[in-house]
Amino acid sequence: MSIESLRGQGRPLIESVRAREVLDSRGNPTVAVAVATSFGAVEEAMVPSGASTGAHEAVGKRDGDKKRYNGKGVLQAVGAVNEIIGPALEGLDATSQREIDRTLIELDGTPNKANLGANALLGVSLAVARAAAISLGVPLYRYLGGPSAATLPVPMMNVINGGKHAEGALQFQECMIVPVGAATIADAVRCGAEIFHTLGKMLHDAGHQTLVGDEGGYAPKLDSIDEALALLVQTIEKAGYRPGTEVAIALDAASTEFYRDGTYWPHKPDDHPFDAAQMVALYDGLCKNYPIVSIEDGLAEDDWEGWQLLTKTLGARVQLVGDDLFVTNVERLQRGIREGSGNAILVKVNQIGTLTETLDAVETAHKAGYRAVISHRSGETEDTTISDLAVATGAGQIKTGSLARSDRTAKYNRLMAIAEELGASTARYPGRSAFAALTRA
């Protein structure tokens, strides 16, 4: 039975919206919101939080009370949901996502969601969508993406952590493996797990610590990005895969974190500064020496001229992803499209604060020939909404961390469940084609 015919039997109305304070994967408070509908459905969504946050992101509300959770409590955001947002939404059609999200934005009344808090708004927005899907008897990816939603994303698996995710380790924030040669999402997950464990053994045998960072990747004290990439190539080979052909590499430089006074400091210890042209030359050399298919935040969030140079130099052969640059914001993305900055956008639901704005950002990217990479945050929960979102939007790519920590593996497990539900004849794993035909150069 179609969603429309189910709606014909009556629309699920929002009966209650309740928030509570829960913990994320770093042990910090975050917001969980449960929505109940007139169809008897009750669904909850949990809001992630980031460590390396861009200056242009929507603002999550924290209490600032040092006597509770070192000031990181979210009782104000919880109160905003229970006392302001919930009463305003009761009785509305749960399937009217755009209307509901518009109401949330109007209730907040600020450009960056700072009044009620992006964490409050997002929790409600996602919980409404989940409750609507259950009310109509369809999985979330089908509810959001329609009957054609069948593309499973290629995962970028963060196996070496640095930057804000593992202080004292590598300056670059993430070194990722990308199973471009896998036949299915299940094969991709198995490939990633095998390489992850091989890397752990190699690090142990070399005398490195094998502790993991916020996103589940190892955090060894390596001297340079070259050392990290060479180690990844060796690990891929030792695990029985062919670098570049079966498993590629992706980077998240998070360069805003090492950008100071107009210059970049990509090496530890701070040996000498780089300008944008030197950073572009650094990436060009890395891409010639290693099988890199994607670079995220190669330059700082407001270095638009540098991004243009990076895109002109590498955009025809490497995916260049704007995270801090675009912050899932349609206006900033449109500027990038006009100016030729990057050729892909990282999509984080809590950067913008509502599901509708997130979907609009993906649509804008796709219409312009930009790739969209659905992404987690470093502070995650067991919530798996982004897995369904990746399939619903046909994004073809997802970032959701390493092959350790249940807050990360929950997303992989959900993707494999979706693939089984779709069936082998329907589920599509795009592999290398997810990175092909980049239109920006």
303 marked as part of a ligand binding site: no
Edge-to-edge strand order for the sheet containing 42-46?
Answer: 14-23, 29-37, 42-46
Rounded CA gap, 24 and 22, in Å? 7
Please name which of 139, 158, 27, 121 lies closest in space to residue 387, comparing C-alpha atoms: 139
Question: CA-CA-CA-CA torsion for 227, 230, 234, 235, nearest 10 degrees?
Answer: 70
375 carries a ligand binding annotation: yes
Q: Which of 43, 44, 215, 246 is catalytic?
A: 215
The single residue listed with the structure tokens 């429309």 is 4
Whether residue 351 is annotated as binding a ligand: the answer is no
The verdict on whether residue 24 carries a ligand-binding annotation is no
Q: Say if residue 25 carries a ligand binding annotation.
A: no
Ligand-binding annotation for 378, yes or no, is yes
Contact 329, 361 (CB under 8 A): yes
Set 44, 348, 380, 411: catalytic member: 348
For residue 32, count CB atoms less than 10 angstroms from its CB and return exposed for 0-12, middle for 13-18, buried for 19 or more.
Answer: buried
User: Is residue 260 annotated as involved in ligand binding?
Assistant: no
Q: What is the 3-state secondary structure (H, E, C) of 261-326?
A: CCEECCCCCCCCCECHHHHHHHHHHHHHHCCEEEEECCCCCCCHHHHHHHHHHHCCCCEEEECCCC
d(CA 278, CA 274): 6
Q: How far apart are CA 200 and CA 197, in angstroms?
A: 5
Q: Is 252 annotated as a binding residue?
A: yes
Q: Which amino acid is at 86?
A: G
93 annotated ligand-binding residue: no
**Between the CA atoms of 166, 168, 173 and 178, what dihedral angle is there, to the nearest 10 degrees?**
-70
CB neighbourhood size of 102 (10 A):
14
Annotated binding residue 246: no
Give yes or no: 382 in active site. no
Residue length of the chain: 441
399 is in an annotated binding site: yes
- Give CA separation, 68 vs 22, 28, 29, in Å: 13, 11, 10
Q: Is 223 annotated as a binding residue?
A: no
CA atoms within 13 Å, Cβ hemisphere of 435: 27
Q: Which residues contact 215 (CB under 8 A, 6 or more apart)?
A: 158, 161, 165, 174, 376, 378, 401, 402, 405, 408
**Does residue 348 carry a catalytic annotation?**
yes
In the annotated binding site for Mg(2+), the residues are 252, 296, 323
In the annotated binding site, the residues are 165, 173-174, 252, 296, 323, 348, 375-378, 399
In the annotated binding site for (2R)-2-phosphoglycerate, the residues are 173, 348, 377-378, 399
Q: Which residues are known catalytic residues?
A: 215, 348
In the annotated binding site for substrate, the residues are 165, 174, 296, 323, 375-378, 399
